[in-house]
Chains A and B, each alone.
Chain A
Amino acid sequence: MRCAGVDVGARYLKLVVMNEGSVLGRAVVPAGYDIDEALARAWEAVGWSRSQVELVVATGMGRGQVGVAEGFVSEVAAAARGGWAMVGEAAVVVEVGAEEARAIRLGPGGRVEDFVVSDRCAAGVGAFLEAMARALEVGFEEMDELSLGARGGVELNCRCVVFAESEVVALIHSNTPKAEIARAIHEAIAERTLVMVRMLGCDGLIGVGGGVARSRGFVQALARRAGAQVVAAGDGMFMGAVGAALLGAEGRFMRRRGARV
């Protein structure tokens, strides 16, 4: 059964087309203000059309705006299922997006045992990295390069994005090397992530996804601080979309009222 998963996040819309557990195509486009238009571009980029797919399941904060979806799954269910498929042996799945982050403890068979969500504060999400990259006047990739080459030892004291921005500017003015600041930034966001993991009380392998997982500096900082093995899913940004598609194929989703299936 050919099934599509759409994950409408705060910054990007992710679309995957799957068949029998394998990914046939995937696309990521800026979500923008018009979800229909973003989705149209995603279909074009993925190389499959809506009519070639039997079922569309949506997730993410903008899932309600996906008019063509037959059904929905929560972000937690999608990340858990996607994380289980991408990092099979994970005891905890962590998804760090642009404006939300979640940690989910998995039980036997990938069942959701417990979860923690952060959706009120920008400190532990991609918005933090955006603001810090702006303050440091570097792109994400350059920030990664800098961070990976740093020695460590510099720490940010502020948790809040607004305060940390001033702190980064002060560090620049006190001639702290950019590389050390970049590393301190990755350490800070990794710590916010680990606070969630610790709340779940689990020290097994951590599988990481979400857009922020593309940052190698972040993943490495996470591994350094975690005291547990950390595995970044290859296409971690698609964790939610893959989960939605798989749950769709398994019939484990909420049907939209008036959907054609």
Chain B
Amino acid sequence: MSRQFWQWDEARWYEPGVDWREAEVIAGGVDVGSVSSQAVVMVDGRLYCYASIRTGFSSPDSALRAMTLALEGTGMAIEDIHCTVGTGYGRVNVPFAQSTATEIACHALGAHFIYGPSVRTVLDMGGQDCKVIRCDASGQVLDFVLNDKCAAGTGRGLEVFADLMQVPLTELGELSLRCGQEPPPISNTCVVFARAEAAALLRQGWSREKVAAAYCSAMARRVAGLIKRIGLEKDFAITGGIAKNPGIVTRIEQVLGVKALVPSIDTQLAGAIGAALMASRMARG
């Protein structure tokens, strides 16, 4: 089988030093997104374990598979979790969750956890949507804007582009930063047309570094437009899978003239962490 350049690795992690059997509150959060699903467990307010997988055709199966993978080797069973909250587009299909929350609220809380209370503007770049959330010092949502109609500026769009370029998705950003002088951005908004434009540039002899830079730059401008609609207040943070792409993050920072906070935890977990924080509150009553 030919190599699938759009694919990214599934991930899991747990903290072996924590004895969850002694814990007061064990809370689960599951974020079933359109492209990826994450499950996290928090023990007394601390991140204990997580898993990140590709969403399959069935949301309940994806939710279950993500949580099972997260719990692997921990000795914990799903029944040991006191409360679980589901979020993401498949949130109503998390069979073992007691409640659901919107991904807007969860991403704000998750960003608050990952980046600290100074965050006021969160850009979440997900698989099939892109949102900008303004929040207060406690992680409560004040306002937001959302693009969920168009693949331009989303992870799925980037996957399509990685496939065209025959470059692994996770290496695309680094590649784009080796372009030398910054080329003009790809002019087409639509991913379908931008793909054709990029193919034409490659045929004209542009290097892959240069074409990748032109695409990353176009994506950065696209999301910067969304941010400007709601206004940018510092500190600024990015969540979601695309926050791991330095080619896009650097260019967003350039367009906006603002540095994004540097994450200490996998940014794809923000939604699930937010859901788990809500579950913690519910478990405490």
Contacts and interface: CB of A to CB of B under 8 A. Distances in A.
A166 B156 contact: yes
Nearest to B157: A162
A131 B192 contact: yes
Interface stretch (A120-128, A226-234, A248-256): A120-128
A161 B192 CA distance: 7
Contacts of A121: 150, 189-190
Contact of A162 (B57, B160, B188): B160
Contacts of A161: 151, 190-192
Interface string B144-164: 000001110000110010000
- Please tell me the size bucket of the interface on A: 10 to 19
A253 B108 CA distance: 57
Interface string A99-133: 10000000000000000000011100001000100
Interface string A197-222: 00000000000000000000000000
B206 interface: no
Interface in A124-151: 127, 131
B129 to A, nearest CB: 9
B193 interface: yes
B150 A159 contact: yes
A163 B151 contact: yes
A172 to B, nearest CB: 9
Nearest to A121: B190
Interface residues of B, number: 15
Given A121-B150, A174-B57, A162 B189 contact: no
Interface string B51-77: 000000100000000000000000000
Given A163-B128, A174-B57, A122 B193 contact: yes
B190 A163 contact: no
A159 B149 contact: yes
B245 interface: no
Interface in B131-150: 149-150
Nearest to A173: B57
A162 B149 contact: no
Contact of A99 (B149, B191, B193): B193
Given A121-B150, A162-B156, A162-B157, A127 B192 contact: yes
Interface in B185-212: 188-193
Contacts of B193: 99, 120, 122, 127
A131 B157 CA distance: 14
Contacts of A127: 192-193
Nearest to B194: A122
Given A99-B193, A120-B190, A122-B192, A160 B160 contact: no
A40 interface: no
Interface in B157-183: 157, 160
Nearest to A127: B192
Contacts of A162: 151, 156-157, 160, 191-192
A121 B189 CA distance: 7
Contact of B34 (A122, A131, A166): A166
Contacts of B151: 160-163
A195 interface: no
21 contacts: A99-B193, A120-B188, A120-B190, A120-B193, A121-B189, A122-B193, A127-B192, A127-B193, A131-B192, A160-B149, A160-B150, A160-B191, A161-B191, A162-B151, A162-B156, A162-B191, A162-B192, A163-B151, A163-B156, A166-B34, A170-B57
Interface of A: 99, 120-122, 127, 131, 159-163, 166, 170, 173-174
Closest 4 CB pairs of A and B: A162-B151, A122-B192, A173-B57, A160-B151
Given A120-B193, A160-B149, A162-B160, 19 more contacts: A99-B193, A120-B189, A120-B190, A121-B189, A121-B190, A122-B190, A122-B191, A122-B193, A127-B192, A160-B150, A161-B151, A161-B192, A162-B151, A162-B156, A162-B157, A162-B192, A163-B128, A170-B57, A173-B57
